[in-house]
Amino acid sequence: MKFFSHELAIDLGTANTVIFQKGQIALDEPSIVAIDTKTGELIAVGDEALHMEGKEHQGITTIRPLSSGVIADFDACEKMIKGFIHKMSGGKKGFFAPKLKIVVGISKGSTPVEVRAVRDSCEHAGAHDLYLIHEPMASALGVGLDVLAPMGNMIVDIGGGSTEIAAISLGGIAEAESIRIAGNQITYDIIDYMARQYNIRIGFRTAEEIKCKIGSVLMDLPADEAPEPMLVQGRNVSTSHPIEATITYKDVACCIDKTISQIENGIMKVLERVKPEIYTDLMRNGIWLAGGGALLRGIAKRFSDRMNMTFHVADDPLKAVARGTCKAIEDTEKYKYKFLMR
């Protein structure tokens, strides 16, 4: 029967959904669907739907089912998960459809209703054996930390919709903070800044490109690390005429400072609450950064300087949660009595 079963580790992210199978990335696509406005049927999912975003006509609606790390549109999320699984299974249905064993990451700050929404979406999408894991725990596994050891470790996962902060010891979360502020808020900060400072109206995808290409949290970067200025084109807020401006990494650092400060406050709250012995371990081991936000230039240095503790950026931080869920599904017998949830 194992021949007819699939084990999938899913990082159901606000911006991207990553699915691991047999220890390898089987799918990594944007968390978005395109729906037929009249019938409600799925038209496209992932990359195909992303290309439609912002260019839809009246018969098509594009939806991002997750917001701030949790499901905002249950029906669209179910369609999205089914669409991704359908892509991976090669369209097999009925008797020949594979049995699905799934481990999916959820926000530590999820309410019981939000947890139920994730569980129902996965079950309706075909999961026969389902486990849930909190994202900071999955991220710690993905980074390579020994989460079962009697040793304090701390992870800060800056995703698209939420920032998950957790101190971990003995296979459990000792203290945690889930903030509904993360990468998407940084993107909106850039959109607002461009309208105020340069009188340019840009879209979400353009702001994402700015963040990825020249994003920084420091106003002064070493010459060899400073990215080249970027030319941005858009619509004049006042006249609607075409307009362009050249922006630098210092512009980005200026406009996202408030959001980064809120993440710093969340980290400090967890550090204030952890037990002294765990705090001592954190001083020795440092704190790990994961998620897309960890790729912002200078973020580890800024946090280290502000909190007087060492911060490390994980290898390939974008895939940390997905790698962690993959490790969890490979050894569910070991972890199901520790932190895996039914």
Those residues with Cβ within 8 angstroms of residue 197's Cβ, 6 or more apart along the chain or in another chain = 251, 255
d(CA 342, CA 335): 12
Q: Output the average pLDDT for the chain.
A: 87
pLDDT in tens, 185-240: 999 999 999 999 999 999 888 999 999 999 999 999 888 889 999 999 999 998 88
Residue 53 — pLDDT band, cuts 50, 70, 90? Answer: confident
Question: Could you tell me the domains of the chain?
Answer: 2-138+322-335 (3.30.420.40), 145-181+257-316 (3.30.420.40), 183-255 (3.90.640.10)
Collapsing DSSP to helix, strand or coil, 119 comes out as helix
Confidence label for 5 from pLDDT (cuts 50, 70 and 90):
low
Do 158 and 183 form a contact (C-beta atoms < 8 A)? yes
Distance CA 57, CA 42 (A): 15
**Phi and psi at residue 211, to the nearest 5°:** -60, -45
> What is the per-residue pLDDT for 300?
94
pLDDT tens for 67-112 read 877 788 888 888 888 888 877 765 555 434 557 788 888 888 788 8
Tell me which of 108-117, 130-139, 157-166, 186-195 is least confident: 108-117
Q: What's the residue count for the chain?
A: 342
Q: What is the pTM of this model?
A: 0.84
What are the respective helix, strand and coil percentages of the chain, to the nearest 5? 40, 30, 30
